[in-house]
Amino acid sequence: MSSYDDLASQALAEIEQADGIDALDALRPGLFGKKAALTEAKKSLGQLDPEQRKEAGQALNAARQQVEVAFETRRGALAASARTEALEAERMDLTEYLGSASPGHAHIVTQTRDRLEDIFIGMGYSVAEGPEVESAWYNFEALNIPEWHPARGSFDTIFVNLGEPEEVMLRSHTSPVQIRTMENQEPPIYIVCPGRVYRTDTADATHLPAFNQIEGLVVDKDITLGDLAGTINQFVKALLGDDIETRLRPSYFPFTEPSAEFDIRGLDGSWLELGGCGMVHPYTLRACGIDPEVWQGFAFGFGIDRLAVMRYQTDDLREFVNNDIRFLKQF
Ligand code: DAH
């Protein structure tokens, strides 16, 4: 009978050592099959005399039952931990990604554009937009830049291979939006037109081949150069602070007469050129079906990226498009 105990404790040890369901199931024939030691022992009961047989039978049953219970218990435990492991391994993380403390923000140029729009909306203007691919009429002709005009050359235009040569282009300034607006809208007109423009420039610290301008256009009655100067002064102060001075300097643009460049003076006392402006040329008003004897207008245009450089004191325009997060997150 003590050999039954030995068989049982040997079986229990094997069960305990099985480190997985498969390993445990592989033990089943050896523990309970036809040739298993406990099965063999049962067969040999028949050789005992009846008295001994009863006692030995009970002991053998008890031993076998003990092994069966241990087997099932172990199997249950192994199944449970296998399931836990699988759940852990296959778990899908459906929690929202909150990342670091910084959720990101608008690009420095977008911030500058938004601020400019806000200022002009506050002055009663609306925001107008136009296509980035333009025809020669909108980009040049209606702006009093006919085909033979030297100013065409100064725009370093990127042409699109479509239609007649040099007929379709990426707009080289936002001034075409003036034309589109005047063609479609009766005066009085008070608009700003921000947007991306293109030129054949190679990227360097002060140039990008794709950059952003904002155009302003006013067409109303009795509009004078004084209104233009006052408007420029007003928005520059709203944007950069009351200490900033502005001035107009004589210049030339085909679509304005007279024309000027406008400069701003920073706290260090030096003058910086910001953009161009002038009184809308009668030719351009007429080209858009507006009678220059009744209506006058002024217009201005400048680079938003360059303004962002001044506003945020950066020193290389290329930083705006490099997508270096260390640069971008400073602003
Ligand atoms: N379109 C000009 C440029 O890109 C800028 C400009 C000058 C716009 C004078 C104007 C203006 O509206 O009146 O160089």
Ligand 1 neighbourhood includes 262 CB (under 6 angstroms): no
Q: Are residues 31 and 145 in the same domain?
A: no
Q: Are residues 77 and 124 in the same domain?
A: no
Distance 139 CA to ligand 1 centre (A): 11
Question: Distance between alpha carbon 106 and the CA centroid of its chain, in Å?
Answer: 9
Asked if omega into 209 is within 30° of 0 (cis), the reply is no
> What is the identity of the amino acid at 29?
P
CA-nearest residue for atom 3, ligand 1, is 173
Q: Are residues 121 and 216 in the same domain?
A: yes
Distance 174 CA to ligand 1 centre (A): 8
CA-nearest residue for atom 12, ligand 1, is 300
**Complete DSSP assignment for 188-229:** PEEEEEEEEEE-SPPPBTTB-SEEEEEEEEEEETT--HHHHH
CA-nearest residue for atom 4, ligand 1, is 173
Residue 235, both tokens? 């928005």
Q: Are residues 74 and 200 in the same domain?
A: no
Q: Which residues are within 8 A (CB) of 106 and not within 5 positions of it... i.e. 6 or more apart?
A: 114
By three-state DSSP, how is residue 117 classified? helix
Q: Are residues 164 and 44 in the same domain?
A: no
User: What is the number of other CB atoms lying within 10 angstroms of the CB of residue 304?
Assistant: 24
**Contact (Cβ atoms closer than 8 angstroms) between residue 212 and residue 292:** no
What's the rounded Cα separation, in Å, for the pair 244 and 248?
14
Residue 1 has pLDDT above 70, yes or no: no
CA-nearest residue for atom 5, ligand 1, is 301
Does 150 reside within a domain? yes
Last residue of a domain, one of 43, 59, 90: 90
pTM above 0.95, yes or no: no
Ligand 1 neighbourhood includes 301 CB (under 6 angstroms): yes
Give the confidence band of 67 by pLDDT, cuts at 50, 70, 90.
very high
- Please report the atom of ligand 1 found closest to the CA of residue 143: 1
Residue 248 has pLDDT above 70, yes or no: yes
Task: Report the range of poorest mean pLDDT among 49-53, 194-198, 319-323.
Answer: 49-53
Residue 83, both tokens? 């399931």
By three-state DSSP, how is residue 25 classified? helix
- The closest of 321, 323, 227, 210 to 277, measured between CA atoms, is 227
- Please report the atom of ligand 1 found closest to the CA of residue 216: 12
Tell me the mean pLDDT in the region 89-102.
77
Distance 265 CA to ligand 1 centre (A): 20
By three-state DSSP, how is residue 66 classified? helix
Residue 52 has pLDDT above 90, yes or no: no
Q: Are residues 52 and 133 in the same domain?
A: no
User: Each residue of 139-198: pLDDT tens digit?
Assistant: 999 999 999 999 998 899 999 999 999 999 999 999 999 999 999 999 999 999 999 999
Q: Are residues 122 and 76 in the same domain?
A: no
Give the confidence band of 126 by pLDDT, cuts at 50, 70, 90.
very high
User: Each residue of 216-234: pLDDT tens digit?
Assistant: 999 999 999 999 999 999 9
Q: Containing domain of residue 281, as a range?
A: 108-328
